[in-house]
Structure 1
């Protein structure tokens, strides 16, 4: 028997060496050689033997985790009183069996008590879900080599710790960057729900308690009889992990599916319809969590169509759910009338308070208003939404986004908790008293019965779940913070790193340094001083396109012109947005002198020559910050390369590919933004960098055969506003140039465009020597999961670098590009870079 156990343990050790990311932070990898081993329990006593019970799951998880970490397989029992057993269950189950309750502190719903002292292992939850959370906590300690003798209770900051999935019934995912849906395929619930079970396990381990499985832009067929039965299968998979299922609704379903002539929330037939649908759902899913509703926003139907209030709309669903204990998460993201850019007073940011504040106190108690962290839309920096201060008589939840819709779409490393903390730690000063956003959304500040958070988490069938190994730190951290918003972002990151990549201190320190620098770097090169993320808001939300923020009806304006930039949101001369905050905060934002520099352009329209507190002008800060951000992204590549041999090859190469992409794309961002504002303002860069590229060879300046120049739109997306493309989509093009650089060793960087719908092939030569070759297929094969582009623009622009190439002055550089599909082997420029030069 012992030989068999050893065999399986060694087999397990061998298997974990080949890592694909699917186990995420629940790898339960063996501890490094030489690491001490604690006194382990002899058996596991799980106080519920029902397979659908979270306590049963906890017993199985403890068995799996201890076997993985220590190679010791423990038996699991539901009865017995062995002193050396690890006991997991609820406090009431423990008392029933043992006649006593060792929990010394009060537990609230989902809370747990962990006692690991003197060989004792007691994991007791207030409910079964809490017991499972405690089991994961214990295993997290063991997996990190933490064998502390501890005894403590921990309770959640708020009862609502949800994730929202933007999955569609056809299997696609809106703003999904990691493949198809784990929930749906072909208009139905997926037949194989293995990945759903694995996902539920991950979420339970970070104490998420509900998942809305479908898109907020909901399809009315979600609640037909077939799909209700289908999502009930998902709920069955969730249940052993203590996770409840929720659904997004199409407000007009009574008309689209129910054959009614109206969806007026006060119509008796509509009320009866939703009551019947809700009853049918609970007949299939007894622990159904509730509804998520997006209405009257971006063209979605809602109560405003019938001149009803948003409270009328929310209460329609609340009253249908109330008998069953369900809740309504009603999104505050409401705007259907697009503002007029010609009106200096118009401001989309005002909408949430304008719509919801007059209704405070009119929402039923099982309604939670789900508020995006900022007033616009998941931007790289926004002020805290003032709506948090304007609903003292209504339960609220903060909406965050793990899916990096505007923040690099998992192709750029951006560790999000430091951004979230700028909002959650902000003091709104309601009634001149401490009013931290985190205390508002938990219900503590205004003594509300419900509250918490929801995060958009668009996992897909990709083994890495989010498309990127490093992006998973954001999901892990969201769960940890939702439980305790005071948790330290860096400590959470280090726990995640140890669980995901192992205990090597160099690995932990390096990933920590990269991740903690990542949001400031991204903000620097994507849009700073509160100007929002300068991406293309009309298309993919991925690459740079500052032109699209203005001269469009979407209200994400910068109001940039040849003399100044920024939205005037003051009460005195602007849109009045600053006045939506309580007086102390409003006064701070009203005055340009007291407004923090990092939100200056959010609240004020100023000249480009306006001096910041750093004494730099706005425009010079723009130039400097974008160069600094791009330089930081280059360092991420070197830092990750230093971990070769310390991280398994599969994940090392995958992350290296993404960091190399980010390094190149950060330069695309840098150049696009600084060139655009240099062109608009006419003010030169004091450092002489903008428009000055002595190491570049522009494609249009090379000798071309089968290639032709192509004017890129927007102009700032290409160096010198011009690329080269093959003359036809079946042509092989060549571009040659004499290298007029001192003889030496250089990095050769080629900027090109990777379009969706074609896989061009490229070769680069110095004289007749092949330096490298590649295929422009990263978006087609899903290696990069960002929203693709079919145009030559800031989304498709990218770079490949060939390091340490020896050249002599007078050598001939030649690039051969072969078009494929819609992609005409497009090239922008070649940079011949001396050591240490970023261009």
Structure 2
């Protein structure tokens, strides 16, 4: 089967990937040999190794030749960059460049039965029937795809480590895991394994208490075994004490104590421990108005500043909730200055349209970067949007998010428009009018989706469990801590100094901005403030009228996306056209449902009609 479809941004490379190369330098030569011939490149391309440069590279041009200079992995990144620049019609000349983030990670939430948690692009291409069963060419093509945008670490199994995935680091599965590591190594990609914190219990110790000498010794032995099979393993990824996962709180230990035995077992081998900070009370009583879920990570982790080992990296979701359409950055990024941190993004569109609705993410990342500034973490990860669908991402245009993520992880300040233009030219060719339409669709998609979704940073108006489509009160009386607190007068949770005090977790300047309704960014008003329905926004509109207008407008703009795409019929491959058209039609239906449900919800609570007399269902 030819898995490397027209949607891959590397159409100049044949779909079959050579298995022969054993390191990045050899792979660079093999890929250049194929790609340059397809690009009709006449000038010789030379590769020059730069000692100790690792991932950095530069591309130099003369009248006679082109030279890629770089470290062992850098020359591979340079090879792909050269070919992509040539294919897009850009100058190949590239000044010396090095990645902003040393670890640029992709986290798969794949289960060993072949399913993917929050996956919207088919099943796993790693696992089947509780084993690592895969098409070898698919793995090699995957390695090529990631290396072309500089991603260098992958975890292939779900952080919710469902049986038998806990055994991946045991003799039972290590031979299989080693084969995957061997396939990805020539692309400069190392494995990270999501591990079960309670695995020592499974092995008969009766406890996973991190201060137990027996537990500490068990982790040392197990880690040593893993490195015998995979000597360049990046390390482990842990979700502990979160959403019913086991962790150190079971033994009245804090998370610094909990991370210690794993981190110290990894340290002699050069391994790191990614420790997720997605920890909160998921059994909250909805009657409890004092507990505020977004406050939990800060409260749990900031007292532990200086207590984590130096090879522990706290992996923090971009916002304090859970990858919502609009939420502020997590305040934890501004705290714990001596502790290693990674930002976790989500490429899979759990809350942003599930690869049905179009949602281009880089504008969101750009805002995060701008807000965090020098507090942007050194490390970065993202939840994968890939599966075994022939086009990798379900929605053909969703592949732009993976492409842009790699560039963002490398450069940080990369322009979302530049990413969109580059990806579109590589994917769809040189037709300027076609590319302009697609780039415009991508760049407007986030604003469109947000306009018919949850308004003003309110969050959590989705259907419970599957998280697609509207259900404003689906979570309102649950234990998940995701409350809107709407009544006939007002809506939202007061998180100011007069409310839960969440605002105080931010630095003084940002806290002051968020604390006053007059200075709080409009997109976050209902995240931080409880407001009456007749509150007037700077636009002069009441809050409820803004909701009505944005939702009617959003549904119309979704229809405009579909119309714009339909104008491209005949200009792009039919399979791509059909794939995207079908999803955009579903997006229109979804947008109309959101419009009607959210407008009705606000009308029923407020009793305030639409000023323009449009249809809102009583």
Could you state the TM-score of these two structures normalised by the residue count of structure 2?
Answer: 0.96
1:478 Cα deviation (Å)?
Answer: 0.4
Per-residue CA shift, 1:509-567, capped at 9, x if unaligned? 0011111111001101011211115212x220011111113122111111111111111
Residue equivalent to 2:177: 231
Matched, 1:57 2:27: yes
Give, in whole Å, the separation in 2 of the partners of 1:633 and 1:381.
18
Task: Report the CA distance shift for 1:543/1:656 in structure 2 as closer, same or farther (over 3 A).
Answer: same
Residue equivalent to 1:470: 397
Pick from 287, 308, 331 the counterpart of residue 232 of structure 2: 287
Select the structure of larger CA radius of gyration: 1
Give, in whole Å, the separation in 2 of the partners of 1:631 and 1:472.
25
Asked if 1 retains the 8 angstrom alpha-carbon contact of 2:11 and 2:427, the reply is yes
Pick from 179, 182, 203 the counterpart of residue 146 of structure 2: 203
Give, in whole Å, the separation in 1 of the partners of 2:354 and 2:195.
26
Matched, 1:21 2:5: yes
1:613 Cα deviation (Å)?
Answer: 1.3
Per-residue CA shift, 1:704-737, capped at 9, x if unaligned? xxxxxxxxxxxxxxxx8xxxxxxxxxxxxxxxxx
Pick from 567, 591, 596 the counterpart of residue 666 of structure 1: 591
Task: Report the CA distance shift for 1:29/1:284 in structure 2 as closer, same or farther (over 3 A).
Answer: closer
Give, in whole Å, the separation in 1 of the partners of 2:86 and 2:5.
20
Alignment of 1:182-193 (within 5 A): 182-193=125-136
Pick from 348, 369, 392 the counterpart of residue 293 of structure 2: 348
| Structure 2 counterpart SS, 1:420 | helix
1:22 Cα deviation (Å)?
Answer: 6.2
Residue equivalent to 2:50: 91
Residue equivalent to 1:545: 471
Give, in whole Å, the separation in 2 of the partners of 1:228 and 1:50.
23
Give, in whole Å, the separation in 2 of the partners of 1:326 and 1:314.
13
Residue equivalent to 1:556: 482
| Structure 2 counterpart SS, 1:292 | strand
| Structure 2 counterpart SS, 1:620 | helix
| Structure 2 counterpart SS, 1:225 | coil
1:67 Cα deviation (Å)?
Answer: 2.2
1:688 Cα deviation (Å)?
Answer: 1.2
Give, in whole Å, the separation in 2 of the partners of 1:52 and 1:635.
49
Residue equivalent to 1:712: none
1:116 Cα deviation (Å)?
Answer: 2.1
1:23 Cα deviation (Å)?
Answer: 5.5
Asked if 2 retains the 8 angstrom alpha-carbon contact of 1:156 and 1:483, the reply is yes
Residue equivalent to 1:698: none
Alignment of 1:116-515 (within 5 A): 116-126=61-71, 128-146=72-90, 148=91, 150-219=93-162, 220-256=166-202, 258-336=203-281, 338-427=283-372, 436=373, 439-442=374-377, 451-515=378-442
Alignment of 1:710-789 (within 5 A): none
Matched, 1:631 2:584: no
| Structure 2 counterpart SS, 1:344 | coil
Give, in whole Å, the separation in 1 of the partners of 2:554 and 2:53.
44
Give, in whole Å, the separation in 2 of the partners of 1:593 and 1:635.
33
Asked if 1 retains the 8 angstrom alpha-carbon contact of 2:45 and 2:66, the reply is yes
Give, in whole Å, the separation in 2 of the partners of 1:270 and 1:193.
37
Asked if 2 retains the 8 angstrom alpha-carbon contact of 1:183 and 1:190, the reply is yes
Give, in whole Å, the separation in 1 of the partners of 2:4 and 2:235.
34
Asked if 1 retains the 8 angstrom alpha-carbon contact of 2:292 and 2:500, the reply is yes
Gaps of 5+ in 2: none
1:21 Cα deviation (Å)?
Answer: 3.5
Asked if 1 retains the 8 angstrom alpha-carbon contact of 2:6 and 2:427, the reply is no
1:69 Cα deviation (Å)?
Answer: 2.3
Asked if 2 retains the 8 angstrom alpha-carbon contact of 1:85 and 1:121, the reply is yes
1:19 Cα deviation (Å)?
Answer: 10
Matched, 1:112 2:57: yes
Task: Report the CA distance shift for 1:404/1:346 in structure 2 as closer, same or farther (over 3 A).
Answer: same
Per-residue CA shift, 1:741-790, capped at 9, x if unaligned? xxxxxxxxxxxxxxxxxxxxxxxxxxxxxxxxxxxxxxxxxxxxxxxxxx
Asked if 2 retains the 8 angstrom alpha-carbon contact of 1:19 and 1:650, the reply is no
1:352 Cα deviation (Å)?
Answer: 0.7
Runs of 4+ in 1 over 3 A off after TM superposition: 18-23
Give, in whole Å, the separation in 2 of the partners of 1:29 and 1:159.
27
1:52 Cα deviation (Å)?
Answer: 0.8
Give, in whole Å, the separation in 1 of the partners of 2:606 and 2:269.
60
Task: Report the CA distance shift for 1:29/1:253 in structure 2 as closer, same or farther (over 3 A).
Answer: closer
Q: Which has the higher strand share?
A: 1
Root mean square deviation of aligned Cα: 1.9
Give, in whole Å, the separation in 1 of the partners of 2:36 and 2:206.
59
Pick from 568, 572, 577 the counterpart of residue 643 of structure 1: 568
Give, in whole Å, the separation in 2 of the partners of 1:516 and 1:182.
30
Give, in whole Å, the separation in 1 of the partners of 2:58 and 2:192.
28
1:90 Cα deviation (Å)?
Answer: 2.1
Task: Report the CA distance shift for 1:664/1:337 in structure 2 as closer, same or farther (over 3 A).
Answer: closer
Give, in whole Å, the separation in 2 of the partners of 1:342 and 1:151.
59
Gaps of 5+ in 1: 1-14, 31-48, 75-83, 93-106, 428-435, 443-450, 693-719, 721-839
| Structure 2 counterpart SS, 1:546 | coil
| Structure 1 counterpart SS, 2:237 | strand
Task: Report the CA distance shift for 1:149/1:111 in structure 2 as closer, same or farther (over 3 A).
Answer: closer
Give, in whole Å, the separation in 2 of the partners of 1:68 and 1:135.
14
Asked if 1 retains the 8 angstrom alpha-carbon contact of 2:460 and 2:475, the reply is no
1:215 Cα deviation (Å)?
Answer: 0.2
Give, in whole Å, the separation in 1 of the partners of 2:328 and 2:94.
39
1:337 Cα deviation (Å)?
Answer: 5.1
